[in-house]
């Protein structure tokens, strides 16, 4: 069996040896944006956005795909299903760092960290009286998968009430109330913190639009750690300008990198990070654990 591993996964000698011991011939392709030589020879591929730049139809013997991303939005899933290609994502790999990032950034916004950082730079001693507590707030997590579960677990420690929304009721100890995705508008009215961890699909494209922002509390925070295109960015900017929400924490955007001309950069009550929330030193080990398990079971 021939397996192609792209630069999306940092393959080291130890990992490569373990994959070879499963009976795979290992090939490496560093840059996913370049064409793969002899794509027809590969039975398995470990990649992220490889098929944005390479025609998947040329991989004629492909039987298994292991993505290094949690989402499936960079691949033609209809083709995968029609060809009976088995596909796995990186479920659970990035949940811990994203959850830690989410709690940290919410606290930064609530505790006005930006103001204190600026004061420190200028050696200014000035108190801030408008500081918020996480305790007794209600967080609404849209998309209650692995990431949503890890965020909920951490917020519960602060005494936060957790509302979860998904297509199906999650089997999870950390939420207090469950809502179906069809009840999204009504649920938003109850929430102080709205967190998107929902995957990007046809049905979730711009799911956070003007109607949703109008349903949120004036002192609510909107957080997006999933995919930028689940949010109508223009609607979010309007909501911020009109002070319909208190602020936003954004790690993903409709177009990345975020344009230097975007109005989002200019809001004091918006925290912007460059799609960085998933980074953590434990990712490689967790990712290899997923890869090894799936390759072993398929083999």
In 2-70, beta strands by DSSP E? 2-6, 25-29, 44-47, 64-67
DSSP track, 199-230: PP-TTTTT-B-HHHHHHS-TT-EEEE-S-GGG
Cα–Cα distance between 10 and 284 in angstroms, integer? 7
Q: Is 269 exposed, middle or buried (0-12, 13-18, 19+ CB in 10 A)?
A: middle
Q: Which residues pair with 196 in a beta bridge?
A: 142, 224
Just list the catalytic residues. 227, 256, 275
204-218: b or e for each residue (b if 16 or more CB lie within 10 Å)?
Answer: beebbbeebbebbbe
Cα–Cα distance between 105 and 223 in angstroms, integer? 9
């Amino acid at each position: 069996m021939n397996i192609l591993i792209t630069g999306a996964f940092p393959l080291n000698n130890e990992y490569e040896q373990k994959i070879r011991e499963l009976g795979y011939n290992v090939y490496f392709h560093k840059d996913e944006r370049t064409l793969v030589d002899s794509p027809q020879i590969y039975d398995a591929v470990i990649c992220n956005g490889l098929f944005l730049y390479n025609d998947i139809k040329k991989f004629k013997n492909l039987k298994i795909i292991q993505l290094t991303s949690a989402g499936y939005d960079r691949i033609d899933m209809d083709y995968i299903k029609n060809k009976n290609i088995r596909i796995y994502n990186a479920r659970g790999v990035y949940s811990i760092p994203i959850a830690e990032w989410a709690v940290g950034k919410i606290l930064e916004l609530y505790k006005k960290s930006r103001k204190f950082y600026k004061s420190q730079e200028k050696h200014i001693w000035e108190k801030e009286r408008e500081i918020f507590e996480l305790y007794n707030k209600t967080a609404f997590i849209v998309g209650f998968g692995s990431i949503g579960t890890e965020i909920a677990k951490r917020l519960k420690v602060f005494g936060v009430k957790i509302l979860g929304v998904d297509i199906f009721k999650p089997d999870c100890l950390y939420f207090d109330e469950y809502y179906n995705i069809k009840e999204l508008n009504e649920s938003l009215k109850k929430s102080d913190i709205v967190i998107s961890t929902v995957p990007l699909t046809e049905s979730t494209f711009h799911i956070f639009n003007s109607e949703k922002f109008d349903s949120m509390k004036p002192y609510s925070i909107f957080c997006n750690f999933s995919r930028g295109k689940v949010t109508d960015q223009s609607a979010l900017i309007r909501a911020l300008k009109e002070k319909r929400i208190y602020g936003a924490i954004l790690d993903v955007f409709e177009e990345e990198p975020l344009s230097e001309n975007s109005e989002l950069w200019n809001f004091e009550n918006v925290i912007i990070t460059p799609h960085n929330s998933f980074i953590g030193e434990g990712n490689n080990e967790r990712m290899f654990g997923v890869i090894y398990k799936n390759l072993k079971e398929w083999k």
